[in-house]
């Protein structure tokens, strides 16, 4: 087995007593103390995440926006400087190659954050369609990424990066100094809470991490591992690539049709237009499961017959219910539909519910 990769914060995690897990070839902290406590800290105060395993692509040149309009499902050419947008990389057949966040940091300067496991195929996709005059660089090896999430995040981050970060709108992005280091700071996240993602050079990662822990001490900030990251994102109904979406799923059935702008040409456009016209045969739905925890890969049944599959499932600590995402036939996807999840050979009752499971108070 190849050796697991370490982020620049690995020694900090060891010092904090983290347990680790192999996440796509990275040795990542899964929890520091307790999944439930870390989950609650993010909902009620603030949590700090090392997500340096995520990959960063830089696309530069005056044609970057137009190029991304063709390479991605969404319209990026009109994305304002200082704003970010969620988008999809699609295959010609409409399958999802990756889900990404695109940050327009300057007029001819676009940062694209992609899933670590998909770097090779994302790079191949970008390079295949890259026009003359647009440059591509993979900055992943030099870039660390720290997320600070939760209702106290803005106040804590402002202490080390200045008050202007607190004025960033949701999905806003700007350059700033954080604990003396040059940083790109975005008001984005994967938890359903207010929060920020802070891009810095590897060499500055430990300093920024430590500064945030110290600045947030009075606000009960805690480091948060991948265990709670998963329960937080599932309550907020964010898709996890490799679980809920992949190359065998299409954006329409995955509930991501809103990201596809069919009034422009892009890779996969014709397939998506057809999916939309035909209507999907199956749809992803939220389930609340009574009497068992649904997990990725469990069958969904109706009247004892297998009709679908769970793609993500867990106990939702804030909603205090067992929640899941599953693909089911469109005719069984209406809110309120009674289904079941087959857990250890037993059909456990499950109901289709509205998502997100959790939405923070405005």
Should residue 314 be labelled a site residue for other proteins when binding is judged by CB under 8 A?
yes
Position among 12, 31, 43, 229 found at the interface with other proteins (CB under 8 A): 31
Nearer to other proteins, 228 or 325 (CB): 228
24: left (phi over 0), alpha (psi -120 to 50) or beta: left
Should residue 216 be labelled a site residue for other proteins when binding is judged by CB under 8 A?
no
Position among 121, 129, 295, 309 found at the interface with other proteins (CB under 8 A): 295
Distance CA 3, CA 167 (A): 42
Nearer to other proteins, 146 or 323 (CB): 323
Pick the piece of the chain touching other proteins (CB under 8 A) from 44-52, 137-145, 291-299, 324-332. 291-299
Q: Could you identify the residue written with the tokens 């940083």?
A: 183
Distance CA 328, CA 294 (A): 14
Distance CA 306, CA 301 (A): 4
- The DSSP-derived string for 178-231 is ETTEEEEEES--SSSSSEEEEEEEHHHHHHHHHHHHHHTGGGT-EE--HHHHHH
Should residue 229 be labelled a site residue for other proteins when binding is judged by CB under 8 A?
no
Backbone angles phi, psi at 279, to 5 degrees: 80, 135
Should residue 34 be labelled a site residue for other proteins when binding is judged by CB under 8 A?
yes
Should residue 30 be labelled a site residue for other proteins when binding is judged by CB under 8 A?
yes
Nearer to other proteins, 322 or 355 (CB): 322
Interacting positions 139-178 with other proteins (CB under 8 A): none
Distance CA 241, CA 349 (A): 27
Should residue 318 be labelled a site residue for other proteins when binding is judged by CB under 8 A?
no
Q: How far is the CB of 122 from other proteins (least distance, A)?
A: 27
Should residue 293 be labelled a site residue for other proteins when binding is judged by CB under 8 A?
yes
For residue 285, give the H/E element and its range: strand 282-289
Nearer to other proteins, 47 or 292 (CB): 292
Pick the piece of the chain touching other proteins (CB under 8 A) from 107-115, 116-124, 274-282, 292-300. 292-300
Q: How far is the CB of 313 from other proteins (least distance, A)?
A: 10
Position among 70, 86, 136, 315 found at the interface with other proteins (CB under 8 A): 315
Alpha-carbon distance values, 194 to 151, 155, 169, 306 (Å):
6, 11, 10, 39
- Give burial (CB, 10 Å; 0-12/13-18/19+) of 207: middle
Pick the piece of the chain touching other proteins (CB under 8 A) from 134-142, 215-223, 224-232, 238-246. 224-232
Should residue 292 be labelled a site residue for other proteins when binding is judged by CB under 8 A?
yes
Q: Could you identify the residue written with the tokens 């440059």?
A: 135
Interacting positions 320-339 with other proteins (CB under 8 A): 322
109: left (phi over 0), alpha (psi -120 to 50) or beta: beta
Query: Mask 243-282, x = binds other proteins (CB under 8 A)?
Result: ----------------------------------------
Q: How far is the CB of 315 from other proteins (least distance, A)?
A: 4
Should residue 319 be labelled a site residue for other proteins when binding is judged by CB under 8 A?
no
Q: Could you tell me which residues come within 8 angstroms of residue 111 by beta carbon, excluding any fewer than 6 positions away?
A: 56, 57, 58, 59, 102, 103, 105, 173, 184, 199
Q: How far is the CB of 142 from other proteins (least distance, A)?
A: 31
Residues that bind other proteins (CB under 8 A): 30-31, 34-36, 227-228, 231, 292-293, 295, 314-315, 317, 322, 344
């Amino acid at each position: 087995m190849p050796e697991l990769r370490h982020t620049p914060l690995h020694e900090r995690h060891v010092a904090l007593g983290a347990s680790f897990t192999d996440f796509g070839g990275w040795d990542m902290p899964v929890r520091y103390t307790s999944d439930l406590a870390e989950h609650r800290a993010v909902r009620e105060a603030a949590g700090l995440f090392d997500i340096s395993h995520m990959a960063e692509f830089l696309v530069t040149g005056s044609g970057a926006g137009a190029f991304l309009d063709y390479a991605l499902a969404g319209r990026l050419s009109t994305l304002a400087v200082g704003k970010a947008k969620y988008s999809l990389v699609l295959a010609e057949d409409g399958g999802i190659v990756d889900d990404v966040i695109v940050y327009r940091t300057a007029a001819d300067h676009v940062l694209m954050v992609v899933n670590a496991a998909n770097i090779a195929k994302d790079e191949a996709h970008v390079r295949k369609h890259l026009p003359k005059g647009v440059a591509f660089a993979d900055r992943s090896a030099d870039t660390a990424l720290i997320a600070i999430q939760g209702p106290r995040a803005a106040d804590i981050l402002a202490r080390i990066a200045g008050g202007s970060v607190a004025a960033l709108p949701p999905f806003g992005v700007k350059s700033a100094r954080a604990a003396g280091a040059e940083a790109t700071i975005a008001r984005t996240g994967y938890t359903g809470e207010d929060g920020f993602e802070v891009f810095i050079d590897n060499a500055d990662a430990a300093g920024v991490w430590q500064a945030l822990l110290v600045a947030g001490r009075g606000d009960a900030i805690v480091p948060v591992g991948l265990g709670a990251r998963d329960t937080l994102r599932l309550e907020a109904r964010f898709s996890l690539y490799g679980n809920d979406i992949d190359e065998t799923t299409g954006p329409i059935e995955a509930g991501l049709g809103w990201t596809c702008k069919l009034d422009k040409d892009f890779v996969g456009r014709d397939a998506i237009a057809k999916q939309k016209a035909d209507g999907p045969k199956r749809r992803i739905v939220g389930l609340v499961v009574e009497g068992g925890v649904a997990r990725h890969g469990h069958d969904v049944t109706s009247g004892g017959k297998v009709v679908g599959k769970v793609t993500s499932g867990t106990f939702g600590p804030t909603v205090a219910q067992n929640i899941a995402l599953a693909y089911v036939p469109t005719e069984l996807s209406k809110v309120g539909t009674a289904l079941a999840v087959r857990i250890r050979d037993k059909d456990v009752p499950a109901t289709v519910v509205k998502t997100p499971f959790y939405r923070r108070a405005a």
